[in-house]
Amino acid sequence: MTPARIPMRDLKREYNSIRSAIDDAIERVVERGWFILGEEVKRFEVEWAAYCGVSHAVGVGNGTDAIQLALRAAGIGPGDQVIVPALTSAFTALAVSMAGATPVFVDVDAERGTLDPEAFEAAIGPQTAAVVPVHLYGCPADMAAILKVARQHSLLVLEDAAQAHGARYQGKRVGGLGDAAAFSFYPSKNLGAFGDAGAVVTRDPALAQKVRLLRHGGQRQSGYHELLGTNSRLDEIQAAILRVKLAHLDRWNEQRRSLAARYRAGLGGCDGLVLPATPEGVEPVYYVYTIRTALRDGLRDYLAGTGVSTGIHYPLGVHRQEAYSHLGYEAGACPNAEKAASTTLSLAVFPQLSFGEIDHVVRLVRIFFAVR
């Protein structure tokens, strides 16, 4: 049977698969009548830290704040430069700007799409204070090379793990690879809330404590504000939902990997199409299944016409965004990121998709290339 329509995401399918547990969790919070910084957040923080293999997790309002607050907690701000890959969600860089620091955009590796360690090293200057490698599309960045350079220059390494919950690098889960990591639990992420949510994880107790203060107005004791903090708290309902979903995360990631393998088997050898790289020592979690083709726009239109939704991650390198025009990056400054921006197309890969649906997309992509 041919599926009528294939969405990029279908969070209703996910909800239906765990409906009663989610409903019970929400009811538990509502019955308790305690909605901000309570039992659920506390427990989720312990569970999420353990999952990531670190000692501390601090729940915050969203992934952007997780990056911003981790940088601020590490003392990074005005006058500092923070190295960011040019191919990522612009929110990675916006968080750096929100902390008062200046993002320095660096090109990505042509195949992997993550921060190029050599370009990173070349961009380090006297004001560089930190680097934010992004585990793009669920594939961990080349952390061994990045950490080596960062350690030589005493830079803070803050992983942006917003797209890579549960991914492994040389056997270790992302989140525990650098000095700290930021997660987003935006609804469509591998682990997603029913609204905005995020977390900072770290092994550093002082950094965790500082994020804890900053997220809650800088208060250690209610009514006494030690720091110029903000309001960015993970709320109880979201934490309760995340606790339910966490129990399914490994199974869902496994499902994403088998759907990705199905795409690979079906699309392999298709002329004009580049499939996602699978670097050695990496266990990716396929937040999206991102292919590359010079015929990207035509393929996207063709698929849309047949009821198959796709995404573009991302249509513009962050260094070329209007919001960063004041930094003066010219076209060609980050060629791999720019090429990716005009050739990448993300296909649906959420865990509740069936092999039949993947096969349908594969058939259509093959038809598109066969008639060219």
Nearer to ligand PLP, 196 or 357 (CB): 196
Any contact of residue 160 with ligand PLP (CB under 6 A)? yes
Near ligand PLP by CB under 6 A: residue from 114, 163, 202, 230: 163
Nearer to ligand PLP, 198 or 229 (CB): 198
Residues of 279-295 as b/e, b for ≥16 C-beta within 10 angstroms? beebbbbbbbbbbbbee
Any contact of residue 92 with ligand PLP (CB under 6 A)? yes
- CB closest to ligand PLP, residue no: 63
Closest distance of CB 154 from ligand PLP, Å = 24
Quickly count: other Cβ atoms within 10 Å of residue 40's Cβ.
25
Q: Is 309 exposed, middle or buried (0-12, 13-18, 19+ CB in 10 A)?
A: middle
Name which of residues 172 to 191 contact ligand PLP (CB under 6 A).
184, 186
Stretch that binds ligand PLP, among 17-25, 60-68, 139-147, 247-255 (CB under 6 A): 60-68
Nearer to ligand PLP, 263 or 314 (CB): 314
Closest distance of CB 233 from ligand PLP, Å = 14
Sign of CA dihedral 21, 24, 28, 29: positive
Nearest Cα neighbor of 342 from 314, 320, 364 is 314
Closest distance of CB 200 from ligand PLP, Å = 12
**Residue at 83: amino acid letter:** I
Any contact of residue 71 with ligand PLP (CB under 6 A)? no
Near ligand PLP by CB under 6 A: residue from 44, 48, 91, 350: 91
Cβ within 8 Å of residue 303, ≥6 positions away = 309, 310, 361, 364, 365, 368
Sign of CA dihedral 66, 67, 69, 71: positive
Stretch that binds ligand PLP, among 59-67, 117-125, 215-223, 319-327 (CB under 6 A): 59-67
Nearer to ligand PLP, 68 or 81 (CB): 68
Decide if 275 contacts 264 (C-beta within 8 A): yes
Any contact of residue 62 with ligand PLP (CB under 6 A)? yes
Near ligand PLP by CB under 6 A: residue from 29, 54, 63, 115: 63
Near ligand PLP by CB under 6 A: residue from 198, 229, 276, 317: 198
Nearest Cα neighbor of 71 from 197, 230, 195, 219 is 230
Closest distance of CB 35 from ligand PLP, Å = 20
- C-alpha 193 chain-centroid distance: 14
Quickly count: other Cβ atoms within 10 Å of residue 50's Cβ.
12
Nearest Cα neighbor of 70 from 189, 203, 194, 268 is 203
Count, residues in the chain: 372
Residue carrying structure tokens 């509740």: 352
Give the tokens for residue 308.
């198959």
Q: How many whole angstroms separate alpha carbon 264 and alpha carbon 278?
A: 11
Any contact of residue 199 with ligand PLP (CB under 6 A)? no
Near ligand PLP by CB under 6 A: residue from 141, 162, 208, 240: 162
Any contact of residue 232 with ligand PLP (CB under 6 A)? no
User: Mask: binding to ligand PLP, 130-149, rule CB under 6 A, as x and -?
Assistant: ----x---------------
3-state secondary structure of 161: coil
E runs forming strands in 139-272: 156-160, 168-169, 172-173, 180-184, 198-202, 219-221, 224-225
Stretch that binds ligand PLP, among 61-69, 109-117, 121-129, 341-349 (CB under 6 A): 61-69
Stretch that binds ligand PLP, among 58-66, 199-207, 300-308, 344-352 (CB under 6 A): 58-66
Stretch that binds ligand PLP, among 75-83, 89-97, 224-232, 267-275 (CB under 6 A): 89-97
Considering CB under 6 A, how many residues would be counted as binding ligand PLP? 15
State the residues that interact with ligand PLP by CB under 6 A. 62-64, 88-89, 91-92, 134, 160, 162-163, 184, 186, 196, 198
